[in-house]
């Protein structure tokens, strides 16, 4: 089946806001979702973006408060009324578990959605192994198998490859969706992603 490649981080606010819509677009257009969890910190650093801690408070308030709540209302998703208390904790274990799920042929669609919803709706700590085990169990996955593979050479290589591809292709945030080689940055582009799945956009002027 044709695919929508999905580059994201397991804790990403805007990936969360678009998660259900992405699944809807994939079903409607007959596409599968190609999960490509990436090291967002390295991707942002490579493209020269400022870390969130270095951005002006007004910029942070607008993009990571007002825009999040606007889009939550627009997409009809339930979200915490504040920044998740564990949001600064590492997301890499969660990313690695998602990569392991992909390699094992698991239901990564459901698992990624569970991680995002758990974090942004239920304040789940995606760095806590027991929390992650519970989220895996909630979608019928095998925590034992995923944790057993999370730090394997195969998962490490795939995770690094996802990150390097995002860097090489000059992606600059999470989520980035790719339809037949054409990238779309941000969940606010999902309506364009849907159109591209059916009818590709023409090239931009030189």
Q: 3-state SS string over the chain?
A: CCEEEEEECCCCHHHHHHHHHHHHHHHHHCCEEEEEECCHHHHHHHCCCCCHHHCCHHHHHHHHHHHHHHHHHHHCCCCCCCCCCCCCCCCHHHHHHHHHHHHCCCCHHHHHHHHHHHHHCCCCCCCCHHHHHHHHHHCCCCHHHHHHHCCCHHHHHHHHHHHHHHHHCCCCCCCEEEECCEEEECHHHHHHHHHHHHCCCCCCCC
Give the model confidence (pLDDT) of 108-146 as tens digits: 999 999 999 999 999 999 999 999 999 999 999 999 999
pTM of the model: 0.95
The Cα–Cα gap between 128 and 48 comes to 30
The Cα–Cα gap between 39 and 35 comes to 13
Mean pLDDT in residue range 23-38: 98
Give the model confidence (pLDDT) of 11-24 as tens digits: 999 999 999 999 99
The Cα–Cα gap between 38 and 173 comes to 10
Asked if pLDDT for residue 49 goes beyond 90, the answer is no
Bridge pairing between strands 182-185 and 3-8: unpaired
Mean pLDDT in residue range 63-72: 90
Q: pLDDT confidence of 204, banded at 50, 70, 90?
A: confident
């Amino acid at each position: 089946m044709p695919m929508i490649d999905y580059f994201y981080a397991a804790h990403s606010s805007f990936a969360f806001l678009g998660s259900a819509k992405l699944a809807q677009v994939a079903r409607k257009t007959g596409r599968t979702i190609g999960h490509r969890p990436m090291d967002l910190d390295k991707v942002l650093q490579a493209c020269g973006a400022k870390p969130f801690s270095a951005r002006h408070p007004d910029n942070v308030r607008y993009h990571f408060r007002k825009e999040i709540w606007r889009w939550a209302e627009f997409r009809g998703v339930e979200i915490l009324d504040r920044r998740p208390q564990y949001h600064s904790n590492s997301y890499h274990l969660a990313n690695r578990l998602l990569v392991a799920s992909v390699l094992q042929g698991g239901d990564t669609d459901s698992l990624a959605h569970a991680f995002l919803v758990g974090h942004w709706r239920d304040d789940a700590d995606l760095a806590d192994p027991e929390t992650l085990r519970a989220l895996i169990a909630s979608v019928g996955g095998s925590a034992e198998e995923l944790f057993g593979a999370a730090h394997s050479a195969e998962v490490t290589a795939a995770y690094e490859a996802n990150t390097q591809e995002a860097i090489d292709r000059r992606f600059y945030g999470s989520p980035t969706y790719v339809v037949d080689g054409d990238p779309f940055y941000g969940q606010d582009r999902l309506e364009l992603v849907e159109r591209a799945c059916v009818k590709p956009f023409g090239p931009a002027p030189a």
